[in-house]
Structure 1
Amino acid sequence: METDMIEVRRFGTLGAADHGWLDARHHFSFADYHDPERVNWGQLRVWNDDTIAPRSGFPPHPHRDMEIITYVRKGAITHRDSLGNEGRTEAGDVQVMSAGNGVTHSEYNLEDEPTQIFQIWIIPDERGGEPGWGARPFPKASRNGRFEPLASGIDGDDALPIRAHARVLGATVRAGETVAYETSPDRHLYLVPAIGSVRVGEVQVDARDGAAITGVSRIEVTAIEDAELVLVDAR
C-alpha cells in the first residue's frame, strides 16, 4: 500500500476545546474550530474525541439531516430525546441517532467516572425522513481479529442501521497480528485506534490519531501493540 494514499492526522494536531466538563478533540472542523483542509472526508463530516466529566454532559439540543454514531470507549453515556427514547450505552457498545427531519436530544455522563466517546457524524444519502434512535451491545469477541460492522447502511450487514451507504466498523487486534479490510478505490476510509499503535502499510498510526485513506482496494492493519480500532468506510 502506497504511503501517499494515507494522510495521518496526529492527535496533537487536532482541534481542541476544553469546556471544563468537556475535553473535546476534533478531527474535522467543528464549532469554533475551522480548518479548510479538514472539513469532511467524503460523507464523514465529524469525528469528535470527547472526554465528559462525571455527572455532566450535553443538555437538550436539536439536530437534523445527520447520522450520529456514538462509540463509547470508557464509562457510559445516557441518551434521552424528544421521541421518548432513553438508553444507557456502555464502553465498547454503540448508539445511532438518525436525526432525519429534526430531533432534540441530550447526552449525559451519569457515572462517577469520566466517560470517553467517539462521536461520528455521517451525511445521509437523502435529507429528511422520520428521526430514530437505537443502541446495541457488540461483544468484543465477535470483532477479535476482524472488522465487524457496528452501524451500516449497506445491505447484508448485521449492524445498527444508518441512512447512508457507509459503515462504522470495530476490530480488536493483538500485538503482531494483522487485520485486513476490502474496499474500493473510490471509497473514503478513516481509521482511528481507540487504544494501541498500528501500522497501515508502512505508516504508523498511534492511539487517537486519525488515518484518512482513499484510492485503495484493500488495507492491512498490523498491531504494534494490542489495539482497538474504529473504522469508517464512506462514499
Structure 2
Amino acid sequence: MNAYLHRSEDRGHVKMAWLDTKHSFSFGSWHNPKYMGVSALRVINDDKIDAHKGFGTHPHDNMEILTCVLDGTISHKDSMGNAGGISAGEWQLMSAGTGVQHSEVNDGDTPVHLLQIWIHPDIRNAEPTYQQIKLDPKDQPNQWHLIAGPNDNAPMHIRQQAEVKTAVLEQGLSLDIKATQVLNYIHVIRGEILIGEHVVKAGDALLFSEDAKIVANEESQFIWFDLPKQ
C-alpha cells in the first residue's frame, strides 16, 4: 500500500496561557513547509481551551470551517446572527464566503476539547452560511457517519467536492474505505488502527489513494476526509 503516515509528534505544538493546541498543518505562529495541507484540506487544529477563555471576535472569508467538539461546550456568536453552544457530539459548519465575524469562547468551568478543520471551497465569494448538527459516532459505533459533503444526502452541505465522515470502531472490528474522490486522509482522534501495514495512533493521520480496510487495534475514533486531487 502506497501511503504517507503523518505522525502526531510531527504536528506543531503551541501552548499559550489558556490554549494548548496541536496543528496538523502550518497555522499561525507555527510554520513548516512540509505541512501545508492536503488537497482542499488546509487546517486540523486540536485545541484545548481553558475555562472562561477563548477566541474573541475575528474575521474569516472564503473558507469552510468545521468544528467538532469532543469534550465540553464552546459558545459561538457570529455576524450572521447565530449564537449558542456547540457541545460534545455536535458539529458546526460555517461557510465564511464573502466574510463573517465570529467568536468562540468556553463559558464553562472545565476545559473544552475540540477539532477545528478548514477546507478550501470550490466556490469563492458565496453568501456566508451556518449549519449545526448533533451526531456522536459513539452512539452508533462500527459504521461510517457522513458529516458534510457536496450533495443533498449530507447532513451539512460543504462547498467543495469532498466528504467528511467519522466513526467509532470497537476493538477487533473493521470498516471498509471506498473513496468517492481521489485522496483519503484518515485522522485518528483516539485509539489505534491498522490500515494495510500502517499502524495509525491517536494524533496520527494516513494519506493514501486506494480502497482499504481499517482494523481497530483498540476502540478508536477517527475522521475520514475523502478529498479531490488538486
TM interval, shorter chain, is over 0.9
Give the SS at the match of 2:81.
coil
Asked if 1:116 is matched to 2:113, the reply is yes
2:179 to 178, 183, 188: 183
1:42 equivalent to 2:42? Answer no
1:165 to 133, 149, 161: 161
List per-residue Cα deviations over 1:89-111 (Å, max 9, x = no partner): 11122000000000000011112
Matched length: 228
| CA distance in structure 2 between the aligned counterparts of 1:173 and 1:10, rounded to whole angstroms | 20
Per the alignment, in what secondary structure is the counterpart of residue 9 of structure 2? helix
- 1:121-136 equivalences in 2 (<5 Å): 121-136=118-133
**CA–CA distance in 2 between the matches of 1:141 and 1:17?**
29
Match of residue 224, structure 2, among 218, 226, 231: 231
Moved over 4 A (4+): none
Q: How does 1:1-235 map to 2 (within 5 A)?
A: 2=1, 5-140=2-137, 143-153=140-150, 155-183=151-179, 187-213=182-208, 215-216=209-210, 218-235=211-228
Instruction: Compute the displacement of 1:141 (Å).
Output: 5.5
2:35 is paired with a residue whose SS is coil
Q: For structure 2, which runs of at least 5 residues remain unmatched after alignment?
A: none
- CA apart distance, 1:219: 2.2
1:158 Cα deviation after fit: 3.0
TM-score by length of 1: 0.92
Change (3 A) 1:141 1:117: closer
CA contact (8 A) 2:143 2:175 kept: yes
- Find the aligned partners of 2:123 and 2:22 in 1 and give their Cα distance: 28
> What is the CA-CA distance between 1:176 and the residue it aligns to?
0.3
Using the alignment, how far apart are the partners of 1:114 and 1:54 within structure 2? 5
The AA in structure 2 aligned to 1:220 is K
TM-score, normalisation: structure 2: 0.94
Look up the SS of the partner of 2:57 in the other structure. Answer: strand
Q: Deviations over 1:165-223 (max 9, x none)?
A: 11111101000000112115x6222212211111111100111212222x21x121110
Give the aligned residue type for 1:164: Q
Counterpart amino acid of residue 51 in structure 2:
P
Query: In the alignment, is the contact (CA less than 8 A) between 1:87 and 1:135 conserved in 2?
Result: no
SS in 2 for 1:12: helix
Gap regions ≥5 residues in structure 1:
none
| Cα-Cα RMSD | 1.4
